[in-house]
Structure 1
Amino acid sequence: MNKIEAFLKEHRITEVECMVSDLTGIARGKIAPTAKFMSEKGMRLPESILLQSVTGDYVDDDVYYDLLDPADIDMICKPDDDGIYLVPWAIEPTAQIIHDCYDKHGVPIEMSPRNLLKKVLRLYAEKGWKPLVAPEMEFYLTKRNDDPDLPLQPPIGRSGRQETGRQSFSIDAANEFDPLFEDMYDWSEAQGLDLDTLIHEEGTAQMEINFRHGDPLHLADQVLVFKRTMREAALKHDVTATFMAKPITNEPGSAMHLHQSIVDAKTGENIFSNPDGSMSELFLNHIGGLQRYIPEVLPMFAPNVNSFRRFLPDTSAPVNVEWGVENRTAGLRVPDSTPQNMRLENRLPGADANPYIAIAASLMCGYLGMVKRIAPSAPVQGRAYERRNLRLPFSLESALERMEQCRDIQEVLGEKFCRGYIAVKRAENENYKRVISSWEREFLLLTV
């Protein structure tokens, strides 16, 4: 009896949600009775879902047919033994199982976000390195809203009142939603998610959940499952949980901060620190690689038009790739820690980023810095918000242009993935530009 079969039998599972992550991070797939799932040992899905935009649209035919089979063929999706989780909110005993995507010859599909992360992790393995990551997920709780033209409002807590003002790190403000978080923690424990602390963040009804450090692929899976879990717990309590990067005007954005370190695969020693506890040359090169390549892969951290609203001035987000020790105004922060826990915190990724893609991009930038021996700039002292060197692109359009022109990135990630990802994001951007905003109606309707 294999691991999946044993799990399904132990929990008396009657239905299986077979899922893969698309480029956005949406779980797509099929729901099957357990008996059918076990007889087929996987599923087939149209490979076209990997070129599907967040609106459900696809890229232009000339791009589509150049990247995928014009016959819109199926890909073979195989379950991962380590990607099985319960669905605690389901009425019937249900499991969700993450699948990997292959073509009919058993070759991994390049456009799959999970395969992309595996590809980057293989580069580290070839060097005898093992990356560790710890994501921090920020999100907002809001009132239910069925009209997209209306601004989001804070939800009503146990006190019967809406939260007002900034309640950073307030225990009582977080406890306003204690019944919701009790369900979230119970469901997360049932799924084996490695959650650590709950924090009330700076924004109104903005929260943060931290994960314990671990294997990057496993943590990316967990973030995918956690986002589903958090949304379901919120809906049960008649509120909404959103991971948009900037859902509310004049409130801070939501990030997915990534703590990352590397250990020697054989000894388990942290290669970011020297025996005397100082930063190693490899660590400095890792930082240098992030500084050099983050501006080229920013769409993988900030994938939507809304993502760039988080980078506007005075939004509490570091719009730079400076680095510094214990400096939260820098895009790359080195927390004060013991030598074995020496790590870097990449503060650029948004909460709306696909976890597989964002983690792959962050680790890839550091990897290139290490193999190319890229030296970092001097660490920043004091506030880094006003720094203008190493400037990031200002918009999704300009960021996509920079990603398209970077040959180093395409060599590592694959030209097909880069072309497909850029094409999907451009299609989404064109779709966005067709919508007339409330700002235009408010300020232009009777004045121009």
Structure 2
Amino acid sequence: MNTPADQLKKQLKQQGITEVECMISDFCGIARGKIAATGKFLEEGGMRLPESVLLQTVTGDYVDDQVFHALLDEAGADMFCRPAPHAVFVLPWLAEPTAMVIHDSLDKFGKPIELSPRNALKRVLDLYADNGWRPVVAPELEFYLTRRSHDPDLPLEAPNGRSGRPERGRQSFSIDATHEFAALFEDLYQWCDVQQLDLDTLSHESGPAQMEVNFRHGDALRLADQLIVFKRTLHEAALKHGVSATFMAKPIAFQPGSAMHIHQSVQNVATGKNLFATDDGAMSKQFLHYIGGLQRYIPQMLPLFAPNVNSFRRFLPDNCAPVNVAWGHENRTVGLRVPTAPAAGLRVENRLPGADANPYLAMAATLLCGYLGILEELSPCDPLQGRAYDHCGLLLPNTLEDALSRMEECDVLKQYLGCRFVQGYVAVKRTEHGNYSQVISSWEREYLQSNV
């Protein structure tokens, strides 16, 4: 019998891989794990890591001792990480033939670790599978290329392109502005092709040297894996070409933020038909309930879409980002856009997740909200016509502190993703916010130092 372990061994051998990066994602989307020679990796069949790595903040700190000991084994027990099927990605920028293998995290009894972001998405996908459904998603990821800088006090700037000049103004969808970084994107697409990432189109967004890459629609878990890999791949391509890349939600003042829009629909596995459309192509009741679920629960799960203080700088009126959970047809000012499409492609686009969100958690949250809408038969409001930036009826929490408080009180999230997950995530983000609060900004020095 050809087991997954046999298939993995064959794949690594065929690709000539001599070194393996054993990787899991923490709440922040940071790749954590170990590096091993291929022979050692295959001998071990995975890796062991302390579960505490899942409670690290973006600064590398841990949550306070009280929460730490409440959520983790006091003896500091390891979790057992096993290679995930079909999650092997070659790293073509390294001289040594190396593959990154994404792992699933299990406890000593073989049960999924509740704090794992990848496990959270798998739990939500199991809800759909139990009903004979399969979510279909298509993410669109925005990012900025910036000038290299080693001083965090200096504002980020657009880098010089091949013309030797930085981009000025806003060049939305400009092909020439995109070609300023043609060599970088040639490497990026070549590397992504080697990794079998499902990239579709590349376009220039509104900000200077701001780009968007669209992925082809497909399985949510597979695409979340690919987003994790893509982010790392882009960082490496940027470094090779002497610039930086950032997925911050709002990296440059007075410029548009960067999002991770997620198009989503649900397929009936037995029939292969889109659950969101009736036979004549109209919106089904399930589709409207799905939108109702997004409207009801996104405000309670917002930190999974907007995980950082910087995320909320993107949610400003007139800033090319929605600040509401209104929905509408072909309306980019609402949080939930329904593009014109035939029955097979009828879908809703969640425009709220930032580019800084953990792909596993953003996918899990948006799919869980929609699932709950179908389950509870929630009705959405009427679709919004016209400009929605000033729409006041369906606003979101406007600070990370408020959003975390609402998430902490979300019983349905605890029911489906676990109390430990919610407690751990909120604790990590509060710890990060506490660290942020200790920093004195340049604005404070400029305007308060001599004026108050």
Shorter-chain TM-score range:
over 0.9
Alignment of 1:210-289 (within 5 A): 210-289=214-293
The secondary structure found in structure 2 opposite 1:30 is strand
Deviations 1:268-325 (A, max 9, x none): 1001000111000000000000000000000000000000000022211010000001
Unmatched tracts of structure 2, length 5 or more: none
Letter of the 2:376 partner, please give it.
K
Q: Quick one: distance in 1 between partners of 2:421 and 2:386?
A: 39
User: Who is 2:139 aligned against?
Assistant: 135
Measured in 2, the distance between the counterparts of 1:187 and 1:287 equals 37
Per the alignment, residue 41 of structure 1 pairs with 45
Does the 8 Å CA contact 1:325/1:335 hold for their aligned counterparts? yes
Q: What stretches of structure 1 move > 3 A for 4+ residues in a row?
A: none
| AA partner of residue 41 (structure 1) | G
**Are 1:391 and 2:357 counterparts?**
no
Indicate whether 1:341 and 2:345 are aligned: yes
Report how far residue 410 of structure 1 moved: 1.3
Matched, 1:358 2:365: no
| 1:413 Cα deviation from its structure 2 partner | 1.4
Distance in 2, Cα, partners of 1:443 & 1:26: 35
Give matches, 1:189-208, under 5 Å: 189-208=193-212
Aligned residue for 1:106?
A: 110
Q: 1:164 and 2:151 equivalent? A: no
State the distance in 2 between where 1:286 and 1:372 align: 10
Aligned-partner Cα distance in 1 for 2:75–2:313 = 39
Q: Which amino acid aligns with 1:13?
A: I
CA contact (8 A) 1:3 1:81 kept: no
**1:159-192 deviation line (CA, Å, top 9, x unaligned):** 1111000000000000000000000000000000
Unaligned runs of 5+ in 1: none
Secondary structure of the residue aligned to 2:314 is helix
Deviation at 1:390, TM superposition (A): 1.6
Q: Which of 322, 330, 334 is equivalent to 1:330?
A: 334
d(CA) in 2 for partners of 1:114, 1:387: 35
* Match 2:310 to one of 306, 310, 323: 306
SS in 2 for 1:136: strand
TM-score scaled by length of structure 1: 0.99
SS of equivalent to 1:97: strand
CA contact (8 A) 1:295 1:393 kept: yes
Question: Normalising to structure 2: TM-score of the pair?
Answer: 0.98
Q: Find 1:65's aligned residue among 63, 69, 72.
A: 69
Give the whole-Å Cα distance in 2 for the aligned partners of 1:20 and 1:406: 26
Question: Which position in structure 2 is the counterpart of 1:368?
Answer: 372
Query: Over aligned residues, Cα RMSD in angstroms?
Result: 0.6
- Determine if contact 2:264/2:349 at 8 Å carries over to the other structure: yes
Matched positions, count? 448
Partners of 1:434 and 1:234 lie apart in 2 by: 31
For residue 421 of structure 1, report the CA deviation from its aligned partner: 0.3
Letter matched to residue 73 of structure 2 = D
